[in-house]
């Protein structure tokens, strides 16, 4: 306690509050030492444990190799090991390995509580050990043939994360290399699903199938084969679209009773594939559709969406011009009123919405879109005959959902059940947003972010497992005929082919050790969120007025933040020039950023920064303001300069480490120490 300067400040009650809240958190949830073995530790305190696990994995792999047909000859003999060529080769390996280790010492110290920069932190010790163990076997998770164990782990991890999002057992998910591929698959599915009813109608007509009733979002019922209204077919609910294949099979079997079920499925699948947008390509598909009354489909994306979205849309052939960027409000969330206006314009102009993307934790600010309001808007649109796919990018915020399940894996009913652990988080609005993830059609979640899993390990989960058939591609060299159905392979349904089974092993084992609820991941993430709230208080409530007395303006852009990322800007009192303010913030960042050419011990605290561009953040919301207007005014800058300068330099902190929460009163108290370092850095610039 003596080491905590905050206790002797004018805000001692606040400091005491946080000390007591941490004690209550740990008392309520667990003995804090329970999760100490979960990490190697800032000072490698658990080196012996990790070494033991890694050595055990290596020895086990050696034993496994030696006992697979022990009668086989030993190829690398002891005599060969004494040859000069062998010794030279071994010496080269050892020498270059030392060079590698030396170079890696100049890497970024993500493991340290002093690193509060990007979305990177220490990996879970069990995940590292599992990754190493599986890596020795080098499984390729494209199929059960090349990864009989880790493919099952991947499927289980997908199910676990789907359940975490609130999806039923009829869901589907798998591991990807990261959020970019996950987002690609989601929009790939959305594109194919949007135009699937057109293909289904063509199949019904070519096979003379009738009595195929389908329900529209408005409640109206129409016949698939006879309708010529493409607008209605392009606005079916997701589950209604995904039921069309089975209905076609039933109708075709009824017309051809002599065929086996397999023959029926093969015919329908062949016909659907031949008529799909995937087979025909976009140009031919729309040329044959020949309907000028229907505009090109669009994708609605918030301005804060990850940059991968633009790459995905371009790669899918949809075209960047078909992206409609949605303005975000001062909290950096999708502006709901602007979204409502845009949806109405799509209804009035008969513009199909291929997908709407929301964000559960933006890359820059960690902002969480109001999913509950977006879901409500989706229902409003359905009543007017407009349906669309809803994908949410929770690459960052997905694992935060672990706070919404108690130690018995039961969903918590109220935000107070979480505030008992985090004290001030979440707000009622955030609680509603996270509680609405089950109403989305797909979610991106990155275990290699707040799952603390080694790279590469992203995931995509879909609410309805049938979507995987929309993007399936056969690989006959892996399985053949009947065996292909009995032993399906993941590679058939995903964008990637070969990918490391070690990532699946790491995620699976981490989830075995660290539960996906308040007793595991929820505890870790809860502490990081609590530390973020405290840090924001120190900077925004304590440091801010102190700097103001010295003619320096500090303004928090996210106060309180939606999670464990916060942004702020600094300006000198009397400065009215945005370019000059950007220079000030750049110089502060230059002092606190990681510099690979510098001796690592010369770094104190390491933060990140970003530039908020006019193109993204200057868009007007429904109230006539852009997201940065009030923030610029708070530091004496005319908002009109935003358009002229084109960007705003922002300082950014990401807090992933649970150790900040546990360092209060220690040496150092990282939260208090950072505030002091930041104060000196700002005053010296």
639-666 pLDDT, tens digit each: 999 999 999 999 999 999 988 887 777 8
Rg of the Cα atoms in the chain: 28
Cα(649)–Cα(581) distance, integer angstroms: 8
Per-residue pLDDT band at 21 (split at 50, 70, 90): low
Helices (H), 30-83: 47-66, 78-81
Other C-beta atoms within 10 Å of 584: how many? 19
Q: Residue 579 domain-assigned?
A: yes
Cα(123)–Cα(452) distance, integer angstroms: 5
Cα(416)–Cα(393) distance, integer angstroms: 26
Q: Residue 657 domain-assigned?
A: yes
- Burial per residue of 525-554, b for 16 or more beta-carbon CB atoms within 10 angstroms, e otherwise: bbbbbbbbbbbbbbbbebbbeebeeeebbb
Question: Each residue of 524-582: pLDDT tens digit?
Answer: 999 999 999 999 999 999 999 999 999 999 999 998 999 999 999 999 999 999 999 99
Strand 389-394 vs strand 353-359: parallel, antiparallel, or unpaired?
parallel
Comparing 32-36, 196-200, 315-319, the range with the smallest average pLDDT is 32-36
Looking at the chain, the whole-number percentage of residues with pLDDT higher than 90 is 81
Q: Residue 243 domain-assigned?
A: yes
Contact indicator for 332, 365 with CB cutoff of 8 Å: yes
Residue at which a domain ends, from 260, 289, 318:
289
Judge whether residue 3 has pLDDT over 70. no
Q: Residue 256 domain-assigned?
A: yes
| Mean pLDDT within 471-498 | 63
Residue at which a domain ends, from 289, 321, 337:
289
Strand 323-326 vs strand 221-223: parallel, antiparallel, or unpaired?
unpaired
| Mean pLDDT within 104-122 | 92
Cα(360)–Cα(367) distance, integer angstroms: 7
Contact indicator for 576, 670 with CB cutoff of 8 Å: no
Give pLDDT, residue 603: 84
Give pLDDT, residue 44: 94
Sign of CA pseudo-dihedral 123, 126, 129, 134: negative
Q: Residue 538 domain-assigned?
A: yes
Give pLDDT, residue 223: 95
Cα(60)–Cα(69) distance, integer angstroms: 16
Residue 643, exposed/middle/buried by CB under 10 A (0-12, 13-18, 19+)?
Answer: exposed
Judge whether residue 41 has pLDDT over 90. yes
Give pLDDT, residue 286: 92
Question: Each residue of 448-465: pLDDT tens digit?
Answer: 999 999 999 999 999 999
Question: Each residue of 391-445: pLDDT tens digit?
Answer: 999 999 999 999 999 999 999 999 999 998 888 899 999 999 999 999 999 999 9
Q: Residue 564 domain-assigned?
A: yes
Comparing 257-261, 467-471, 518-522, the range with the smallest average pLDDT is 467-471
Cα(494)–Cα(154) distance, integer angstroms: 13
Cα(5)–Cα(675) distance, integer angstroms: 11
Question: Each residue of 271-313: pLDDT tens digit?
Answer: 999 999 999 999 999 999 999 999 999 999 999 998 888 899 9
Is 664 strand, coil or helix?
A: coil
Cα(145)–Cα(134) distance, integer angstroms: 16
Cα(296)–Cα(79) distance, integer angstroms: 71
Give pLDDT, residue 354: 97
Judge whether residue 478 has pLDDT over 60. no
Q: What is the enclosing helix (H) or strand (E) of 323?
A: strand 323-326
Contact indicator for 436, 372 with CB cutoff of 8 Å: yes
Q: Residue 391 domain-assigned?
A: no
Higher pLDDT, 668 or 27: 668
Judge whether residue 258 has pLDDT over 60. yes
Q: What is the enclosing helix (H) or strand (E) of 187?
A: helix 179-206
Give pLDDT, residue 614: 96
The number of folded domains in the chain is: 2
Print the domain residue range for 284.
194-289
Looking at the chain, the whole-number percentage of residues with pLDDT higher than 70 is 93
Query: What would the two tokens of residue 136 be?
Result: 């020795």
Three-class secondary structure assignment of 72-86: CCCCCCHHHHCCHHH
Contact indicator for 289, 198 with CB cutoff of 8 Å: yes
Which residues on adjacent β-strands are paired with residue 124? 39
Please give the mean pLDDT across all residues of the chain. Answer: 91
Other C-beta atoms within 10 Å of 466: how many? 17
Is 575 strand, coil or helix?
A: coil
Q: Residue 667 domain-assigned?
A: yes
- Distances, alpha carbon 400 to alpha carbons 177, 429, 434, 521, in Å: 20, 15, 9, 8
Sign of CA pseudo-dihedral 617, 618, 624, 630: positive
Residue at which a domain ends, from 289, 312, 340:
289
Other C-beta atoms within 10 Å of 370: how many? 22
Query: What would the two tokens of residue 425 be?
Result: 């988080």
């Amino acid at each position: 306690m003596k080491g905590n300067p905050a206790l002797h400040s004018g805000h001692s009650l606040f400091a005491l509050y946080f000390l007591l809240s941490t004690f209550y958190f740990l008392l309520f949830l667990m003995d804090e030492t329970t999760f100490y073995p979960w990490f190697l530790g800032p000072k490698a305190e658990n080196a012996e444990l990790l070494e033991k696990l890694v050595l055990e994995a290596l020895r086990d792999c050696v034993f496994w190799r030696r006992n697979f047909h022990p009668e086989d000859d030993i190829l690398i003999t002891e005599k060969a090991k004494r040859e000069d060529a062998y010794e030279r080769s071994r010496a080269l390996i050892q020498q270059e390995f030392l060079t590698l280790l030396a170079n890696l010492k100049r890497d970024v110290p993500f493991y340290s509580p002093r690193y509060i920069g990007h979305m990177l932190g220490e990996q879970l010790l069990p995940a590292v050990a599992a990754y190493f163990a599986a890596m020795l076997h080098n499984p390729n998770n494209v199929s059960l043939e090349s990864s009989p164990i880790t493919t099952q782990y991947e499927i289980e991890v997908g199910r676990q994360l789907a359940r975490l999002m609130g999806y039923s057992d009829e869901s589907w998910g798998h591991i990807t290399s990261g959020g970019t591929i996950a987002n690609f698959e989601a929009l790939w599915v959305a594109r194919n699903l949007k135009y699937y009813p057109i293909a289904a109608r063509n199949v019904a007509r070519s096979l003379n199938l009738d009595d195929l009733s389908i329900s529209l979002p408005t409640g109206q019922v129409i016949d698939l084969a006879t309708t010529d209204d493409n607008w209605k077919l392009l606005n079916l609910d997701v589950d209604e679209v995904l039921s069309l294949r089975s209905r076609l099979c039933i109708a075709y079997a009824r017309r051809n009773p002599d065929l086996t079920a397999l023959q029926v499925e093969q015919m329908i699948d062949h016909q659907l594939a031949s008529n799909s947008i995937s087979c025909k390509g976009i140009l031919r598909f729309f040329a044959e559709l020949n309907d000028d009354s229907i505009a090109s489909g669009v994708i609605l994306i918030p301005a804060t969406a990850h940059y991968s979205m633009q790459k995905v849309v371009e790669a899918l052939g949809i075209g960047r011009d078909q992206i409609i960027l949605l303005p975000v409000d001062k909290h950096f969330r999708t502006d709901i009123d602007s979204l409502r206006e845009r949806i109405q314009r799509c209804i009035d102009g008969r513009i199909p919405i291929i997908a709407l993307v929301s964000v559960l934790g933006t890359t820059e600010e960690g902002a969480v879109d109001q999913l509950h309001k977006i879901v409500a808007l989706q229902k409003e649109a359905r009543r007017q005959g407009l349906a669309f796919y809803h994908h949410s990018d929770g690459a960052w915020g997905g694992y935060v959902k672990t706070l919404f399940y108690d130690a018995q894996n039961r969903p918590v009913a109220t935000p107070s059940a979480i505030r008992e652990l985090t004290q001030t988080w979440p707000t009622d609005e955030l609680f509603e947003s996270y509680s609405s993830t089950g109403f989305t059609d797909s979610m991106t979640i990155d275990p290699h972010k707040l799952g603390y899993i080694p790279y590469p390990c992203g995931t995509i989960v879909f609410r309805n497992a049938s979507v995987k058939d929309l993007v399936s591609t056969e690989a006959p060299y892996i399985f053949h005929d009947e065996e292909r159905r009995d032993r399906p392979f993941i590679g058939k349904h995903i964008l990637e082919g070969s990918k490391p089974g070690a990532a699946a092993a790491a995620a699976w084992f981490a989830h075995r050790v660290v539960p996906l609820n308040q007793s595991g991941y929820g505890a870790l993430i809860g502490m990081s969120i609590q530390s973020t709230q405290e840090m924001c208080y120190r900077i925004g409530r304590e440091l801010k007025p102190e700097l103001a007395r010295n003619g320096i303006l500090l303004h928090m852009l996210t106060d309180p933040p939606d999670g464990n990322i916060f942004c702020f800007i600094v300006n000198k009192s009397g400065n009215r020039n945005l370019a000059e303010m950007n220079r000030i913030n750049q110089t502060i960042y230059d002092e606190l950023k990681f510099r690979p050419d510098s001796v690592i011990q010369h770094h104190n605290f390491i933060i990140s920064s970003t530039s908020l561009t006019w193109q993204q953040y200057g868009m007007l919301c429904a109230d006539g303001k852009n997201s940065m207007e009030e923030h610029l005014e708070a530091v004496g800058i005319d908002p009109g300069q935003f358009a002229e300068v084109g960007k705003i330099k922002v300082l950014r902190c990401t807090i992933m480490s649970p150790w900040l929460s546990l360092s209060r009163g220690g040496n150092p108290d990282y939260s208090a120490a950072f505030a002091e370092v930041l104060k000196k850095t700002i005053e010296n610039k």
